[in-house]
Chain A
Amino acid sequence: MEKRVTFRGIWLPILLVLPQIVITAVFFFYPAGKAIWQSLFIPDPFGLSMQYVGLGNFEYLLTDPYYRGAFATTAIFSGLVTLVSMGCALFLAVLADRLIKGSGTYRTLLIWPYAVAPAVAGVLWLFMFNTRVGVVTWYLGQLGYDWNHVLNPHEAMGLVVIASSWGRVSYNFLFFLAGLQAIPRSVVEAAAIDGARFWTRFRTIVFPLLSPTTFFLLVVNIVYAFFETFGVIHTITSGGPQQATTILVYKVYSDGFVGQDLGSSAAQSVILLILVSILTVIQFRYIERRVHY
């Protein structure tokens, strides 16, 4: 039996999907098309003239050591953010799952950081780690460690990773907790009776059953680290020191809007567009044939 609604004419269905198409067209197809178009030109800094260069922008980018450096920085940064935010979230979720009393409060408190905008989170962490007045810096100084993320590239990377992961822990925590609670208690009990102690149970039963959640979060967090961390990096390090925290999306901004090299910036956007498309395809492929229990 045909369960879908079928329309006789063509105009009503078009009218119904029109708003969505208009939004997609205005906010995605038009800018994306424009970026692809621009990536083929080198405009002068005042935008008065453009010179066609074909794939010249791309050729230049792929041989540019700074751009390659930004690729490596992005890989390290997104890898670390994903690892830290998911690791903390999983740890907290496992604890919350075992909690009986006060679990509601615990959960609510853990969810709050998610409500803080990335840029605001960046400023919060910047205050705490400020090289002159930061609380954490002061305590680290007391312990004999001289914190200075403005000069030290590793410390700068560490700080933006922590600041970007912080709010993300909440989001991941929610999914992990839901995933843990969806595992039938009796399966875990059966494993306990079979002789598996906590860590063995976690490794052989809980973690494998959690894998659909973990994979979903992996993809979502990588995409987050690629794009949405812009605000954090902009407020804390502005990509510095010495481009140590310039990830791809930050380079799009700094080359295009600070450096006024719009052609290169557009080409970088196109590369990012391709990257995120690949990630999305992987995610959808996986979700389509997701394990069903």
Chain B
Amino acid sequence: MATVTLENIRKSFGKTEVIHGVDIDIADGEFIVIVGPSGCGKSTLLRMVAGLETITSGEVRIGGKRVNEVEPMDRDIAMVFQNYALYPHMSVFDNMAYGLKIKGTPKSEIVARVDAAAEILQLGPYLQRKPRQLSGGQRQRVAMGRAIVRKPAVFLFDEPLSNLDAKLRVQMRLEIKALQRELGVTSLYVTHDQVEAMTLADRMVVMNDGVADQIGAPLDVYANPATIFVAGFIGSPPMNFIDTKQISGWTEPPCVLGVRPEHLHLVSEPEGRISGSVTYAEPLGAETLVHFRTTDGPSVTVRQDGAEPVPSEGERLGIAWKTDKELRFSEEGQRLADS
């Protein structure tokens, strides 16, 4: 168990800086999810914590101890890779026992620990198989098993679920969460999937282009995004952004308004704060997503209850929302104080 601290971490490949100073404080036993689009530097950040990439500047501390120059094996971490990175020529048992054998753990203890992990992960019947004889979900479990038998201070997960099919992903997500709760090991989890981030995280870090835009509990981030990027990235369908120039009778300084689709509702054209025509509607049963093209602006999505009538395509309507549900952003994408 340990705390992890990242202090003004920067990373350059050649002359290109890809991570521009990230600070994260992770409490003991906390589950932190780093989420962002591909290429935002989230995996690089994780690999720097693991010691697989050098740190250009800044400091990583694990358990309060600076580890910048420490080899991966001496950092007391375990990592689960996206492609599992199992040793193909070794049995499941040997895969899990590898780290312990190198450390010179007594044989009886190796067997006990591997058996215990296999028990938790329901891998008992597969211990003598080779990884290629296992399904994707089982391989994923072996990778987890390899991480937990070593009883590390920190777990690192690099998109561990992205090679699984949708159903298995949901199942493994719950298992990972339960396992982490049970073991109470500090965890750092990288994903591009915002649903994984929302469901797993104690706190999430939203990365954008090498910068941590926002760090916070999932629901706080959802309700109070710090930037337009975060607002647009977290939530599906994404938040709508409406330029105040489109709103007739706007008297305050111009800005961009962000409103979640569930906070918009359809009204008759003159009643709406903005108006436009319906491009298409997607009835999903419990809810209906209505896509809207505003008269002189971008498209807007409205999420309405599935019981309400579905508007027909081309219908001209207005859109209204309560002012306390709107978030104000500057043209540069920063959140403005609520007026």
**Is there an interface contact between B87 and A205, defined as CB atoms closer than 8 Å?**
yes
Pick from A195, A291, A293: contact of B99, CB under 8 Å: A195
Pick from B51, B79, B103: contact of A190, CB under 8 Å: B79
**Is there an interface contact between A193 and B73, defined as CB atoms closer than 8 Å?**
yes
Q: Is B321 an interface residue (CB 8 A)?
A: no
Q: Is A196 an interface residue (CB 8 A)?
A: yes
Give bound CA distance, A291 to B83, whole Å: 20
User: A181-189, A251-259, A268-276: which lies at the B interface?
Assistant: A181-189
Q: Is A117 an interface residue (CB 8 A)?
A: no
Give bound CA distance, A189 to B47, whole Å: 10
**Is there an interface contact between B85 and A195, defined as CB atoms closer than 8 Å?**
no
Q: Which residues of A have CB within 8 Å of B72? A: 189, 192-193
Pick from A192, A194, A204, A209: contact of B88, CB under 8 Å: A209
Q: Is A98 an interface residue (CB 8 A)?
A: no
Contact A194-B99, Cβ < 8 Å, known A189-B85, A208-B89: yes
Give bound CA distance, A148 to B256, whole Å: 89
Could you list 14 further interchain pairs (A-B, Cβ under 8 angstroms) beyond the known A187-B87, A189-B72, A192-B71?
A: A184-B83, A184-B85, A187-B85, A187-B88, A189-B52, A190-B86, A192-B72, A193-B50, A193-B79, A194-B98, A195-B102, A195-B103, A196-B98, A291-B89
**Is there an interface contact between A186 and B83, defined as CB atoms closer than 8 Å?**
yes
Interface bracket on A: 20 to 34
A residues at B contact (CB < 8 Å): 184, 186-187, 189-197, 200, 204-205, 208-209, 291-293
Q: Is B126 an interface residue (CB 8 A)?
A: no
B residues at A contact (CB < 8 Å): 50-52, 71-73, 77-79, 81-83, 85-89, 98-99, 102-103, 132, 146, 150
Q: Which residues of A have CB within 8 Å of B82? A: 186
**Is there an interface contact between A187 and B89, defined as CB atoms closer than 8 Å?**
no
Give bound CA distance, A70 to B87, whole Å: 44
What are 26 A-B contacts defined by CB distance under 8 Å? A184-B83, A186-B82, A187-B86, A189-B50, A189-B79, A189-B81, A190-B86, A190-B87, A190-B146, A191-B87, A191-B98, A192-B52, A193-B50, A193-B51, A193-B52, A193-B77, A195-B73, A195-B102, A195-B103, A196-B73, A196-B98, A196-B102, A204-B98, A208-B89, A209-B89, A293-B88
Give bound CA distance, A194 to B94, whole Å: 12
| Interface contact tally, CB-CB below 8 A | 62
Q: Which residues of B have CB within 8 Å of A193? A: 50-52, 72-73, 77-79, 99
Q: Which residues of B have CB within 8 Å of A189? A: 50, 52, 72, 79, 81, 85
Name the 8 nearest CB pairs between A and B, nearest first. Answer: A194-B99, A186-B85, A190-B85, A195-B73, A293-B88, A195-B102, A186-B81, A208-B89
**Is there an interface contact between A293 and B132, defined as CB atoms closer than 8 Å?**
yes
For B103, the closest partner residue in chain A by CB is: A195
Give bound CA distance, A292 to B132, whole Å: 9
For A194, the closest partner residue in chain B by CB is: B99
**Is there an interface contact between B73 and A197, defined as CB atoms closer than 8 Å?**
yes
Most A-side CB within 10 Å, residue of B50, B77, B102, B146: B102
Give bound CA distance, A190 to B150, whole Å: 13
Q: Which residues of A have CB within 8 Å of B71? A: 192
Q: Which residues of B have CB within 8 Å of A208? A: 89
Give bound CA distance, A138 to B249, whole Å: 98
Most B-side CB within 10 Å, residue of A187, A194, A291: A194
For A204, the closest partner residue in chain B by CB is: B98
CB distance from B254 to the nearest CB of A (A): 49
Q: Which residues of B have CB within 8 Å of A200? A: 102
For A211, the closest partner residue in chain B by CB is: B89
Give bound CA distance, A190 to B215, whole Å: 29
Q: Which residues of B have CB within 8 Å of A195? A: 73, 99, 102-103
Give bound CA distance, A189 to B78, whole Å: 11
CB distance from B97 to the nearest CB of A (A): 10
Q: Which residues of A have CB within 8 Å of B83? A: 184, 186
CB distance from B98 to the nearest CB of A (A): 5
